[in-house]
Amino acid sequence: MQTITSVTSKGQVTIPLHIRQQLGIRAGSKVEFVWVNDHLEIRVKSTPTDVPKSAFGMLKSKRKAVPADFDPASLLKP
């Protein structure tokens, strides 16, 4: 199967989904570019073993935390 993709102004290319799936490439994977005679080979060097099941806790806020016993209904009282 032949797939053609474009190179961005930053020198980036998108590896087609079916190739990433077949090789197990995902975010954080390390690949190696090797010049072999008259062509370039891309070899998968490592793939992250753990995939986060949740994004909980990844974002941090600069705001102070709200106390656990805070009652939002108290804001509605005159």
Per-residue pLDDT of 12-53, as tens digits, reads 999 999 999 999 898 889 999 999 999 999 999 998 876 667
* Cβ contacts of 41 within 8 Å, gap of 6 or more: 33, 34, 35
pLDDT at 51: 62
Is 30 within the bounds of a domain? yes
Whole domain around residue 29: which residue ranges?
Answer: 14-47
Q: Which helix (H) or strand (E) holds 30?
A: strand 30-36
pLDDT at 11: 94
Its pTM stands at 0.54
* Cβ contacts of 18 within 8 Å, gap of 6 or more: 1
Q: Domain count of the chain?
A: 1
Is 61 within the bounds of a domain? no
The Cα 77–Cα 75 span in angstroms is 6
The Cα 17–Cα 24 span in angstroms is 10
Is 40 within the bounds of a domain? yes
Is 37 within the bounds of a domain? yes
